[in-house]
A and B are shown apart, each in its own frame.
Chain A
């Protein structure tokens, strides 16, 4: 699905990531961890074609990202649900409209999809907040709305960048359960987080591969996790 092969990425003259190889197979569950500034968000962006590697290859659904037109990347992104670190909402649209945004931009805002939207909004527990504007939401509600938006297109892959960063423990557990449930439905999941407790909690329920970025390189995390 998403394949990184000896990828390097440089920014501002310095190399941020080096010799990264990663394969996100269908139905797999990955955690990506590492200290702040280690390049977790950058690696996720490489995985959904928001950044082009300075060396190596990134394949999105078999296609080399370097050879893809912007519109091809846009089409590939419809198969990848991204939960952005700061949620990235359009503040002038309601929560329901934000969740439906991927449908809107792909011209799939049909009645059937609207029914799916209602179901999904209920699934993440935001039915009562559907008409609110994003600035009116709490941290947990924002994260759940971002997750709902990532899921609305029924993507093959979900990439989540610190999805529990702004929520309390109880809410982070709830979000984690949602992601585990999605993985059991066959979705490929990768979560970037520095919350080790969250990773430990997940490993009790799902076969997860934990990767750590250290010194610009990607390695399997130790048994302490």
Chain B
């Protein structure tokens, strides 16, 4: 069995052949099966795509932003905190690779703790360590060297360059992105399987029609073309509707700014909104190839 694909045949297929389309009678349930499965899968594909792109952005942000900043925590006995903070800041001013360093204000520290302890936390009365935010420049600073100097001159200082918790987060985000792409591949496979089933059912139901077409000299290309066109256009229509529904659903998700969490960031940003538009033609292509394979196999098996 020869299974060929070229752009011309796909273009000719989309251009249509009204006469050829009429020779195959309309089929009820396979039409709905194709439309529904293509629509449902396109809807899911929009979310899988959104998940992939959102996690990709998240991984990039965590990777970039956190890699460019570090935190120094000063846990000194009462009365020494201010002095050790100033000492640490002075040291940071002379450390190569440090663009800026500043001690967080009480209000900023309170804001950091607010999600856990609420807005009325009395920061002044609690032994909360002072935090210093360090912004890197160029290739960054020598973390090991800075730790040594801090341990010698600022005994209450602990340098956290975020490596310990940034890497698992970035890894997790990358895994989620991979999961999203795998989901897209599975969705494409499911579309192919559903359309193969529907095409096989349609071909079996139309065995008599195929017999008549062969009797009058129809070539296999003509017969399979009639089915390919039908299923491809159905899949395109179904996927178009599903994609539209998926995009609308994404639009109605709460915005990232309002919720502030990861899940609310699920969606498309900027030119990424173009990506869902690729889903219907891709679904049509999958349908075309699946129907062509099914038709060639069935026609090859018929005498």
Contact = CB atoms under 8 A, between A and B. Distances in A.
Interface residues of B, number: 21
Given A70-B299, A82-B215, A90-B23, 7 more contacts: A50-B215, A50-B303, A70-B220, A74-B220, A77-B217, A101-B212, A105-B219
Interface string A63-103: 00000001100110110001010001110110001000110
Contact of A84 (B20, B215, B220, B299): B215
A145 B266 CA distance: 63
Contacts of B26: 92
Contacts of A71: 219-221
B19 interface: yes
A77 B216 contact: yes
B19 A109 contact: yes
B interface: dominant SS: helix
B216 A149 contact: yes
10 contacts: A51-B303, A74-B217, A75-B219, A77-B214, A84-B215, A92-B26, A93-B22, A101-B213, A101-B216, A105-B213
A166 B209 CA distance: 22
A103 to B, nearest CB: 9
Interface string B9-52: 00000000001101101100000000000000000000000000
Contacts of B209: 90
A11 B207 CA distance: 21
By size class, the interface of chain A is 20 to 34
B222 interface: yes
Interface of A: 50-51, 70-71, 74-75, 77-78, 82, 84, 88-90, 92-93, 97, 101-102, 104-106, 109, 149, 153
B211 interface: yes
A71 B221 CA distance: 9
Q: Which of A70, A90, A93, A105 has the most CB of B within 10 A?
A: A105
A90 B212 contact: yes
A105 B222 contact: yes
Contacts of A74: 214, 217-220
B25 A92 contact: yes
A149 B19 CA distance: 16
Interface string B184-224: 00000000000000000000000001011111111111100
Given A90-B209, A92-B25, A77 B215 contact: yes
Contacts of B299: 70
A149 B216 CA distance: 8
A35 to B, nearest CB: 25
B53 to A, nearest CB: 45
Contacts of A97: 22
Given A51-B303, A70-B220, A74-B218, A104 B211 contact: no
B20 A104 contact: yes
A88 B208 CA distance: 8
A104 B221 CA distance: 13
